[in-house]
Structure 1
Amino acid sequence: MGIMRVIFMMFLVIDGILAIIPPYIKVCKRTDPNLSKCIIDSIEYLRPKLKEGIPELNLPSIEPLPLNEIKLRSGPNQAQINANITHLIVHGPSSFKILDLKPDLAKTRFLVQFTIPTLYFKGDYDIDMNVLILKYKGQGPLTGNFTNYVFNCLLKADKVTRNNKTYLQFRNFTLTLVTGKSYLHLGNLFGSNDAVLGKATNAFVADNTDLFIDEIKPVLERSLAVKFTNIANSITAMFPFDELFPV
């Protein structure tokens, strides 16, 4: 453990006693006429640390991001698809960029729009598919990506008092995906027995990617919302509101 971290840890004490704000957290005066830009710049300055993780704040790396098991039970008239997607891991959340931020410190509300240029994901699938005259049941690896996904996020916080100091405590973020492109590939279709059918089936999957993505999106939204809520609360629980946003 480096000397700077030792010094920093000496100042972090439990039960709300004032902690020294580390240099990677940039404070913004609440009277700043460009408060929105200041907060965006502060988040951007902190972003590389989120990829590494911040042990002194008990924050693990923001990625890879595991997603819960996803079940697909739907399909168009000409196709019925039952699929389970497991062990889904997402890389790339730390590349997020803030597009717009509207702070309301009086109401402790923040409206944020951000984009993630590319999210890569991989996992395993177990599928039972009936497409026209083609029937297929099997397992294999699943890979894909989300490109230029844009999210709207509403952050609401309550002011709580500990040891005569006021802290922000964020409620669960409300996060909604509004746009983006996606690609999905199912590996090992038909194994090595029929490469032609495997290629044709993947072409069908590519044409109907939305069936899978519509199931993945809500899980991705919830997982990102939980991750970002935990990050925000790990910081605001340690440092009083008046220290993060001085007059």
Structure 2
Amino acid sequence: MDKKELAQEVVQIARHAGAAIMAIYSKKDLGVELKADESPLTLADQAANEVICRALEKLSVQYPIISEENKAVPYETRKNYDYHWLVDPLDGTKEFIKRNGEFTVNIALIHAGKPVMGVVYVPCFDETYWGAEGVGAFLEANGKTTRLEVPAFKLADEGLNVVCSRSHLNDDTQAFVDKLKNPSLVPTGSSLKFLIIAKGEAHVYPRLGPTMEWDTAAAQAVLEQAGGSVIDEETKQPLRYNKENLLNPYFIAYGGLQQ
């Protein structure tokens, strides 16, 4: 498998899903409804999911698909997966509903619990971020492709840029921020939080609250291939995937952290 070639095929799939999202974004009625967990679902989530799943099923390499919008695959089945796709067709649905542009299409390839390829497309900005193991991380925008490499920093440095949620800082996150020297907060929606770090515009993203595997996998692949890391706050190891429970543990995403 040529990961670079496969990544480019997935980039096109993500862009097509983005076009499906933008077709609905331009309409007055976004078709908002609530899922069982009371999180919002729109016509765009469903349209993008259909585009992605159909296209992945037509690729020359075939892997199972786990998507936020598909019926859950039992752990007894998926625990045997070697490779699988992990998809969030529209991350940042709340941002989509607010029409602030901070939503993304996310497609990751997981191998033995590790994201080895990730594509994140930002439809409103027409930006594509992708990373693949052994290839690197890249941003495609304005007709140019730029290699992403995170700058080095230490947590003791003054004035670090800390990515955070647009809504609020919970107590654990505030406690983390309070340990830093004169940090600047960078409120951002969706998986863009990781990409700001991958671009070198922020240093750290403490996520001391709930997320799901599909929320993080693609952007983690990009950040790791840019030289960053996404660390489980409890084990201090890289965030892992295809667990029995698809809920992520608390984690911290770093740029080029130096000990």
TM over 0.5: no
Larger radius of gyration: 1
TM-score of the superposed pair, with normalisation by structure 1: 0.27
Higher share of residues assigned strand: 1
